Each structure stands twice: as C-alpha cells, then as structure tokens.
Amino acid sequence: MYPPVAIASALLVVVQLGLVVCDCSNPVVRKEWRALPNNEKLAYINAVKCLQLQPSHLSHVYDGTRCRFDDFQATHISNTDYIHWVGFFQPVIRWHRAFLSQYESDLRSLCGYEGAQPYWDWTLDVNTEADFPKSPVFDPVYGFGGNGAYINTTSWTNVSLHIPGKTGGGCISTGPFVNMSVNMGPGSNSFTYNPRCLTRDFSPWLVTRTLNASVVAWALQAPDFYEFDRRVEGGVTLDTATYHSGGHKGVGGDIGEISDLYSSPGEPVFFLHHANIDRLWDLWQRLDWPSRKYDISGPNTSFAYPFNFYGDKPYRNITLDYQMDFQGLLSTDNQIVAVDDVMDIQGGRLCYTYA
Ligand SMILES: *[C@@H]1O[C@H](CO)[C@@H](O)[C@H](O)[C@H]1NC(C)=O
Ligand SMILES: *[C@@H]1O[C@H](CO)[C@@H](O)[C@H](O)[C@H]1NC(C)=O
Ligand SMILES: *[C@@H]1O[C@H](CO)[C@@H](O)[C@H](O)[C@H]1NC(C)=O
Ligand SMILES: *[C@@H]1O[C@H](CO)[C@@H](O)[C@H](O)[C@H]1NC(C)=O
Ligand SMILES: *[C@@H]1O[C@H](CO)[C@@H](O)[C@H](O)[C@H]1NC(C)=O
Ligand SMILES: *[C@@H]1O[C@H](CO)[C@@H](O)[C@H](O)[C@H]1NC(C)=O
Ligand SMILES: [Cu+2]
C-alpha cells in the first residue's frame, strides 16, 4: 500500500502534465460560452491574458514567440501544411484535439484557471445575419470583443479568397484583447516577430450558410469517419465551405487573423471554435460508440484524395498507429502522440467531457 499522500501527489503530477492515468472518473467539463456565469467567463479571459504574460518555452526554436500563448501560434504555423485537409485534421480535429488539450492544461497549470476550455456553439448565433455580431462570444466585457472597422478590400490583389458580405477587417476596438499583440504571421513560415493588433472581419452572410444547425446535422449523419471528416473540412471554395472554414472565414473574412490558415491561433476565439469542432466529433462518435471509437481514415498528406482540389497526390490512409509530432509544445517529455491516444476524450491522455 502506498500512503494516500504519495498517491495524491503522484496524481497531481500526472494531471499537471496533462496526462491522466487510465481512470478518468472526474473529467473536466467543457461548457458553451454563454452557459458560463460571468465570473467564470472572466476567469477564462484572465487566464488567457495570463498565458500571454508567461514566458515562451519555444523561443529557441521560433524567433517570434514572446510568450507561452505564442508557442501555440508558432506550432500551428509550423504544422499547418501537415494538419489541414488530411486524415488527422480531426486529430487536427485529432491533431487539434491534443493541441487544445495542451492549451487547456497550460491555462490551468500556469495560470491557476480552475475551469475547462469553453466552446462556442455558433449555431445559436446565426439564425439571422443581424444575430451574429451580438453573440455573447463577442461581448465587450464578458466576451472577446467585437468586429474590426470596415476596410474595403475589393480591389486588393493580395487577398487569397474574397469573402462576400464582409463587414470589418481592421483592429478590434472593444473587449479585453483590444491591446493584445499578435506576434507572428501572417502566412506560412512566418516565425519572425511581427507584432500587430488583432483584426476581425465578420461575414454574417457566410456564417448563416456555413454554421447553421442543418449544416451540423448533415455532418452528424455521416455513416463513417471518412465521410464525416469530408463534411467537416469541406472544400476550399465558398460554395463548398462547411463549418470548420465557416467559423474561420465567418469571423475573419478577407483579412482578419483567424482567416489565416497558418497564424489563426493568434485569435483567442480560435480555441473556442476548435473546441466546438472537437465536441461535434465526440458527439458523432458517441452516436455509435462501439464502431466509431476507433474509426479513423483520411489521407496522410494534405490535399490528397478526397481533398485533391489541386490534382492527385500519392497518399495512404492514416491508421490508429499514425504518429503526430508536437515538436516541443507539449509539457511532456514525449512529443509524439499516436492517433490512438486521442480517439477517446475520456481515455488515454485525455480526460474531459462536453456539457
Ligand atoms: C468597395 O470599393 C469598390 C471599388 O473598389 C466599390 O465598387 C464598392 O462599392 C466599395 N464597397 C463598399 C461597401 O464601400
Ligand atoms: C495588401 O494590399 C493592400 C492594398 O494594396 C495593402 O494595403 C495591404 O497592406 C496588403 N496586405 C498585405 C498583408 O500585404
Ligand atoms: C488598452 O491600452 C490603452 C492605452 O494604453 C488603455 O487606456 C486601455 O485601458 C487598454 N485597454 C485594455 C482592455 O487593456
Ligand atoms: C443552412 O445552410 C445551408 C447550406 O448553406 C442552406 O442551404 C440553408 O438554407 C441554411 N439554413 C438556414 C435556415 O438558413
Ligand atoms: C504518405 O503516403 C505516401 C504513399 O505511401 C508516401 O509516399 C508519403 O511519403 C507519405 N507522406 C507522409 C507525410 O508520411
Ligand atoms: C482510403 O479510404 C477510403 C475510404 O475507406 C477509400 O475510398 C480509399 O480508396 C482509401 N485509399 C487508399 C489509398 O487506400
Ligand atoms: Cu481551424
């Protein structure tokens, strides 16, 4: 028998490492933003601001990081070409699942946050175009602030995809992140320190078409993971965009930070959007847990079939033993996470649930 104190402190150590022993009897409960009481909203916001004041662990790898928050942006930039439109997107949702879990763990262990990572169920904010900017997520006090000022980009040639119905583009001017500094990006291989304001560029037009309840219901009807993943990631054009890109391009429009495929985690709302994507994957799995717990597939290379929008590429389908390398972001010695380790949010290294 081990003395209870030793067991308790051993447990504490593993929990701080973001790991959980096989047993997950007390999962943290991730809630929808508007379901949090105001004091819990403020606790989360303050923890994110605190993460923006903690030292970077990866400044020896990326020149542009100035704080722990930036480590997530840098790691995302570094991995973007490998984690989108590939079989482990869901691990993007799968990769993003482990990414988010580390973020949640840092808020708790580095910043004394006692809650869980909240999510944003955008279906509640898109009944009409006018509803969207009024989302509690964009509240100036108990949220992340609102849109940026309008910038007309119609004649700009450096915009990768012009978003219809865009209404912003400038720096946000309200809320707790009005003075935050986005330190890297935009675009690929952009690890140089490039401090700038946080920009948003809402497209209420796009969100009513990509983030509504029927889009979600259609994704959840997918018979297997392969099809589910296709429905969540969607295509690269506006008429094939679904809820993953709808959240990015609906908040970020043409030129807002979260629209940047690479540097989007510079936007704090990124983590609420991806938590909802993760929640929906878990929800889809639990509609038929025995057959979906281990259902995984999709190309090992981005933009290979069925995401071969730019032509065919050699690929193979990923499997449970496929390994994702987090390159120093994780607070564990081992930076390699197998897909198998993140299939169950209450097993392996994960221990949380969604309310
Ligand atoms: C944006 O600029 C274009 C010309 O470049 C103009 O045709 C259009 O009306 C402007 N849009 C708005 C909303 O001001
Ligand atoms: C894109 O082009 C516009 C207008 O030419 C310019 O104002 C803007 O700074 C450019 N943006 C980037 C990221 O290069
Ligand atoms: C942002 O900075 C300005 C100028 O320093 C300051 O007056 C304001 O209180 C700051 N706002 C927030 C939310 O930190
Ligand atoms: C939801 O989005 C789908 C796909 O864009 C669209 O066909 C449908 O009309 C939308 N539903 C509502 C109620 O807006
Ligand atoms: C994906 O699989 C293809 C075909 O087996 C292989 O050529 C390629 O190197 C793999 N890519 C990665 C990133 O593992
Ligand atoms: C990958 O899996 C899909 C769905 O099961 C299948 O259609 C496709 O042929 C597979 N690709 C390869 C290279 O095995
Ligand atoms: Cu994303």
Lowest mean per-residue pLDDT among 179-183, 203-207, 334-338: 334-338
**Spatial separation of the C-alpha atoms in residues 108 and 54, rounded to whole Å:** 13
| Alpha carbon nearest to ligand 4 atom 10, residue | 209
Q: Is the beta carbon of 193 within 6 A of some atom in ligand 6?
A: no
pLDDT of residue 298 exceeding 80, the answer is: yes
pLDDT, tens only, 25-49:
999 999 999 999 999 999 999 999 9
pLDDT, tens only, 72-106:
999 999 888 776 655 555 545 568 898 999 999 99
Percent pLDDT > 90 in the chain is 75
Which CA distances in Å does 111 have to 53, 107, 151, 204, 345? 10, 5, 36, 34, 23
Instruction: Please report the pLDDT score of residue 22 as a whole number.
Output: 58
- Look at the block and give the residue holding tokens 């209420």: 204
Residue of 131, 203, 205, 208 to mutate, ligand 4, most atoms within 8 A of C-beta: 208
Q: Which parts of 84-212 fold into alpha helices (H)?
A: 94-111, 204-210
pLDDT of residue 142 exceeding 90, the answer is: yes
**315 or 200: whose pLDDT is higher?**
200
**Helix (H), strand (E) at residue 347:** none
Percent pLDDT > 70 in the chain is 90
Q: What share of the chain is helix, strand, coil (3-state, %, to 5)?
A: 40, 10, 50
- Look at the block and give the residue holding tokens 């542009």: 64
Find out whether 116 and 28 touch, Cβ atoms under 8 Å.
yes
From the CA of 290, how far away is ligand 6's center (Å)?
Answer: 21
pLDDT of residue 71 exceeding 90, the answer is: yes
CB atoms under 10 Å from CB of 192, counted, come to 11
Number of H helices, E strands in the chain: 10, 6
**17 or 103: whose pLDDT is higher?**
103
pTM, to two decimals: 0.92
From the CA of 230, how far away is ligand 7's center (Å)?
Answer: 14
Q: Is the beta carbon of 155 within 6 A of some atom in ligand 1?
A: yes
Structure tokens given for 252: 């970020």
pLDDT of residue 122 exceeding 90, the answer is: yes
| Alpha carbon nearest to ligand 6 atom 13, residue | 316
Q: Which parts of the chain fold into alpha helices (H)?
A: 4-16, 38-51, 68-83, 94-111, 204-210, 213-220, 225-233, 243-252, 269-286, 289-292
Peptide bond into 140 cis (omega under 30): no
Structure tokens given for 145: 């602030």
pLDDT, tens only, 229-257:
999 999 889 999 999 999 999 999 999 99
**Spatial separation of the C-alpha atoms in residues 320 and 340, rounded to whole Å:** 5
Q: Is the beta carbon of 178 within 6 A of some atom in ligand 3?
A: yes
Residue of 128, 205, 207, 212 to mutate, ligand 4, most atoms within 8 A of C-beta: 212
Question: CA 19: distance to chain centroid?
Answer: 20
| Alpha carbon nearest to ligand 3 atom 2, residue | 179
Phi, then psi, of 25 in degrees rounded to 5: -90, -15
Q: What is the mean pLDDT of residues 119-127?
A: 98
**Spatial separation of the C-alpha atoms in residues 201 and 249, rounded to whole Å:** 8
Mean of the per-residue pLDDT values of the chain:
90
Give the angle subtended at the CA of 218 by the CAs of 213 and 219, to the nearest 5°. Answer: 100
Instruction: Please report the pLDDT score of residue 18 as a whole number.
Output: 47
Q: Give the ligand at the shortest distance from the Cα of 152.
A: 1
| Alpha carbon nearest to ligand 5 atom 9, residue | 315
**Spatial separation of the C-alpha atoms in residues 11 and 353, rounded to whole Å:** 19
pLDDT of residue 3 exceeding 50, the answer is: no
Q: Give the ligand at the shortest distance from the Cα of 307.
A: 6
From the CA of 130, how far away is ligand 3's center (Å)?
Answer: 28
Instruction: Please report the pLDDT score of residue 85 as a whole number.
Output: 56
Which atom number of ligand 4 is nearest to the Cα of residue 208? 14
